[in-house]
Amino acid sequence: MAWSDRWRFVMTSFGRSLATVLLAAGIALSASAASAEQRLHFTTEQYAPFNFAQGEEIAGLGADQVKEIMRRTGIPFDMELLPWSRALALAGKRPMTCVFTTAHTVDRDKRFKWVEPLLVERTLLIRAEGSGVEPANLTTASHYRTGTQTGDYTVELLRNAGFAKIDLARDLDLTLKKLLNGRVDLMAVSESYLHRLRKQGVPVEEAAVLHEQVFSIACSPKTPDEVVARMQGALTAMIADGTQAEIHARYN
């Protein structure tokens, strides 16, 4: 065989081997990508009793329901705790991503696909004990300095109710400190959050009812409808068989 023929034979064989390797690698990468795409990613915040770190796990009234939903659907998933504004933003734009425990508001309605309800609850305005802040109704309450966290559903509720002096902080812990130090007069929170504070001996109390709210799982619009439907089916079954009530009871 001439040298030129040998060279062509070697290069042809090498090319075929390389093509085989690249094809195998491509198949592996495609399989990996497909597997990753099918995994549902959940974001949430540190907000007891809904969701909170418990050792290396995330627990809570909302988190426990999400885990049970995913167990029943069999869809692979993971969870991470983030600042609320980032948790909400990721679920709004990243495929196969959901955020909980999320208030289903008018402003958010078209931005997500919803699985609900995890909870139906009142949203309250609370004050520091002995503060002397006593709004007769929401109209008078709207004149007080009212604190909440950036990106929280209560921002929309407060604005819709005519509150002009809204103080925003990066998280609820900082807002609570402001309330206890007199830097804000009122704070908007869920009823469960107030109950937890009272159990911990924090000197706060209810001042007024701001809203009655549905809390849900909010999924990216790019999350497949079939995935959302399976999750909703699992949650509906949990409500019917009493599992949701059992989870609620753990945190009351």
| pLDDT digit string, tens, across residues 62-72 | 999 999 999 99
Q: pLDDT tens, 18-77?
A: 333 333 444 333 333 334 458 999 999 999 999 999 999 999 999 999 999 999 999 999
User: Per-residue pLDDT averaged across 208-224, rounded?
Assistant: 95
* Strand arrangement, sheet containing 97-103: 77-81, 40-44, 97-103, 204-219, 113-128, 186-190, 146-149, 166-169
If we measure between CA atoms, which residue out of 85, 50, 47 comes closest to residue 172? 47
Q: Give the distance from CA 35 to its chain's centroid.
A: 23
Give CA–CA dist 4/16, Å, rounded: 18
The answer on pLDDT for 202 being more than 70 is: yes
- CA-wise closest residue to 45 among 150, 216, 171, 225: 171
Pairing mode, strands 40-44 and 77-81:
parallel
pLDDT tens-digit profile of 62-107? 999 999 999 999 999 999 999 999 999 999 999 999 999 999 988 8
Which CATH number does 121-213 carry?
Answer: 3.40.190.10
Angle between helices 61-73 and 225-240 (to 10 degrees): 110
| pLDDT above 60 for 2 | no
Same CATH fold, 121-213 and 40-119+214-250?
yes
Closest C-alpha among 152, 115, 148 to residue 233? 115
Task: Dump the DSSP string for 138-169.
Answer: HHHHTTS-EEEETT-HHHHHHHHTT---EEEE
Identify any residues that bridge with 58 across adjacent strands, giving them in sequence order. Answer: 53
Chain centroid, CA 144 distance in Å: 29
Average pLDDT of the residues in 124-137: 96
Average pLDDT for 103-124: 94
Give 197's contacts (C-beta < 8 A, 6+ positions apart).
Answer: 126, 176, 204
Give the DSSP letter of residue 189. E
Q: What does the pLDDT read at residue 38? A: 83
Q: Where are the domains of the chain?
A: 40-119+214-250, 121-213
CATH fold label, 40-119+214-250: D-Maltodextrin-Binding Protein; domain 2 (3.40.190)
Contact, 212 vs 120, CB < 8 A? yes
Contacting residues for 92 by C-beta, under 8 A, at least 6 apart: 111, 112, 220, 221
SS3 74: coil
Residue 214 amino acid letter: V
Helices 243-250 and 225-240 pack at an angle, to 10 degrees, of 80
Give per-residue pLDDT as tens, 135-181.
999 999 999 999 999 999 899 999 999 999 999 999 999 999 999 99
The full DSSP string for 25-64 is HHHHHHHHHHHHHHSEEEEE--BTTTBEEETTEEESHHHH
Q: Are strands 113-128 and 186-190 parallel, antiparallel or unpaired?
A: antiparallel
Its pTM surpasses 0.75: no
